Amino acid sequence: MINNMHQLLIATHNTDKLSEIQQILQGSMWQTADLSEFQYYPPPIENGSTLAQNALIKAREGFNRTGLLTLADDTGLEIDGLEGDPGVFSARYAGENATYDMNCRKVLMELDAINSTKRTARFRTVMALIGSEIEHCWEGVCEGMITREPSGNSGFGYDPIFWSIELKRTFSEVTPLEKNRVSHRGRALRKLMAYLMEAELPDLLRV
């Protein structure tokens, strides 16, 4: 069991998301732990109807299983032409075992099928933090557009079809540093870290 005072568990089974969060946290006072360090940790059932509910489910599970201050996020892509879909179902939009490419292709097909000119969209992340004396969420939003075809070779998820208004490129066409500076996940996590900078650590870390 990890018991360093400044351990922060990142409760995700998505290795791409884990890597991105670790990049954003690099240089902070917190040393991250991840679920691979625990022998048996099946993913909890994410049956919430909102991003916040799912983020809290994952963070609570991490804290209850490990006793470590735990963060978890849930992220959705909201497309205006699809009335906010895929939203909370973004990770499994094309099915329970959908790949990133399958999800992207379904979005592009649906936008084409309805002949929509409303390709405006946003990534929304809710970051949850659970400890002995804290249960709180922070939100980060990034506005953009859905492209007509994938573009770029980096990133993950819907990054190849999400064109950032601020960067003027898709998330897959920029470096991780550029993406993290404006991304939904980066914004939510920086809010969380600002809180931790002001928090009383003994209270947060007491099991």
| Residue 1 located in a structural domain | no
Q: How many domains does the chain have?
A: 1
Catalytic residues: 74
**Which domain, by its residues, includes 138?**
7-205
Question: Residue 115: its pLDDT value, please?
Answer: 72
| Residue 71 located in a structural domain | yes
Question: Residue 4: its pLDDT value, please?
Answer: 42
- CA distances to 6, 31, 166, 187 from 28, rounded to whole Å, are 10, 8, 26, 15
| Residue 43 located in a structural domain | yes
- pLDDT tens per residue, range 99-120: 999 999 999 999 998 877 789 9
Q: Say which CATH number the domain at 77 has.
A: 3.90.950.10
Question: Residue 59: its pLDDT value, please?
Answer: 97
| Residue 85 located in a structural domain | yes
Point out the residues of the chain with pLDDT beneath 50. Answer: 1-5, 206-207
Residue 143 backbone zone (phi > 0: left; psi -120 to 50: alpha; other: beta): beta
| Residue 2 located in a structural domain | no
